[in-house]
Amino acid sequence: MSNFLAIDDFSRAELEALLELAAELKREHMAGANRPWLRGKTLAMIFQKPSLRTRVSFEMAMRHLGGDALYLSPHEIGLGKRESVADVARVLSGYVNGIMARVFAYEHMRELAEHASVPVINGLSDLNHPCQALADIFTIMELRPQLQGLKLAFVGDGNNVATSLLLICARLGVHFSIAAPEGYELEAAVAARGSKLAAETGADFLQLHDPAEAVAQADIIYTDVWTSMGQEESEQRRHIFQPYQVNRALLARARPDVLVMHDLPAHRGEEITDAVADGPHSVIFQQAHNRLHAQKAILARLLGE
Ligand code: CP
Ligand code: NVA
């Protein structure tokens, strides 16, 4: 493992090893006994977009592990504008032991990794959000340890979060259904890859338009914002996505013990109601908190000895 750019770069065994390490690191942390796995190591964090969870959880993860992190805001670097992506990667590689980046174009992530001599971690791109997906599966495993055969229903936009989630579910044998409006489905290449991985692990993968059909008998309902960072047409989307709101009526169609997940930030009252986000099925804050532990596993594996 030399970078963490996309779920699809990893085998089932590699993902399972990361999840196991995350559990070990969480146990250590909860016992108040963080070991300095990354003493003296540093991480540069490039952000082209805003962040709460990714920024704070990576920074705290480095501190807990005995290292240090440097936040570089959207105004500072001008990735690909003030300076080429390749030159940023080459320069930072002389200062730090790893780079975490949140970018618009996934190609920039690949370019950073190609030209950096230190590991690069994807903290979200327009195409995918693999750190989120790892933390999400980690959360599901805490609550439903037998992953194989669970059914996750994603309701909403076939976006970066849905993409990484599909790929990790398909890889690990979790049935995945997505209900998205016409024109907002997963990218065709992503769906094709998901189908192939799902077939290998015996998982179902369904692409639908009807949310009620997608969540029937679901163990987990997952949603995300209708308009992602960098997308302009939020008014039009609000109208198109209205039938895709995760509310009490939709929950009633899933299993009685269904878990509700959201990567956050949420646009409450749009893709999810307060009653559901704050209700007894919601695990959204456990999910957010687990970003810390899942990312510690990624950092320890990539930057550790
Ligand atoms: N879920 C997530 O990545 O949150 P932030 O955008 O706040 O980092
Ligand atoms: N799909 C959202 C996820 C934010 C964490 C976005 O890209 O804005």
Q: Does residue 56 have its Cβ closer than 6 Å to ligand 1?
A: no
Question: Is residue 305 very low, low, confident or very high in pLDDT (cuts 50, 70, 90)?
Answer: confident
Residue identifier of the C-alpha nearest atom 2 of ligand 1: 53
Q: Does residue 161 have its Cβ closer than 6 Å to ligand 2?
A: yes
Least distant ligand from the CA of 227: 2
In this prediction the pTM is: 0.98
Q: Does residue 273 have its Cβ closer than 6 Å to ligand 2?
A: no
DSSP 103: -
For the segment 125-143, the average pLDDT, to the nearest whole number, is 98
Least distant ligand from the CA of 288: 1
DSSP secondary structure string, 176-221? EEEE--TT-SPPHHHHHHHHHHHHHHT--EEEES-HHHHHTT-SEE
Q: Considering the chain, what is the average pLDDT of its residues?
A: 97
Residue pair 90/84 in contact (Cβ under 8 Å)? The answer is no
**Which residue, among 152, 158, 120, 139, has the nearest Cα to 9 in the 3D structure?**
120
Q: Does residue 212 have its Cβ closer than 6 Å to ligand 2?
A: no
pLDDT tens for each residue of 24-60: 999 999 999 999 999 999 999 999 999 999 999 999 9
The predicted pLDDT at position 232 comes to: 82
* Residue 171 Cα to ligand 2 middle (Å): 22
Q: Which atom of ligand 2 lies nearest, measured to the CA of 159?
A: 1
Q: Does residue 263 have its Cβ closer than 6 Å to ligand 2?
A: yes
Q: Report which residue type is found at 113.
A: A
Q: Does residue 143 have its Cβ closer than 6 Å to ligand 2?
A: no
Say how many C-beta atoms besides its own lie within 10 A of residue 27's C-beta. 11
Q: Report which residue type is found at 32.
A: G
For the segment 1-26, the average pLDDT, to the nearest whole number, is 97
Q: Which of 45, 46, 47, 52 to mutate to test the pocket of ligand 1 (most atoms within 8 A of CB)?
A: 52
Bridge partners, residue 155, by sequence: 179, 223
CA distances from 58 to 25, 61, 63 (A): 14, 5, 9
Question: Hey, what domains does the chain have and what are their CATH numbers?
Answer: 7-129+291-303 (3.40.50.1370), 130-287 (3.40.50.1370)
Least distant ligand from the CA of 262: 1
In whole angstroms, give the CA distance from residue 103 to residue 233: 20
Cite the DSSP H helix spans in the chain.
12-30, 53-64, 85-92, 106-115, 130-143, 160-172, 188-201, 211-215, 234-241, 248-251, 274-277, 284-303
Least distant ligand from the CA of 295: 1
Please give the biggest Cα pair distance in the chain: 54
pLDDT tens for each residue of 244-274: 999 999 999 999 999 999 999 999 999 999 9
The predicted pLDDT at position 214 comes to: 98
The predicted pLDDT at position 234 comes to: 85
Residue 217 has pLDDT above 90, yes or no: yes
pLDDT tens for each residue of 72-120: 999 999 999 999 999 999 999 999 999 999 999 999 999 999 999 999 9
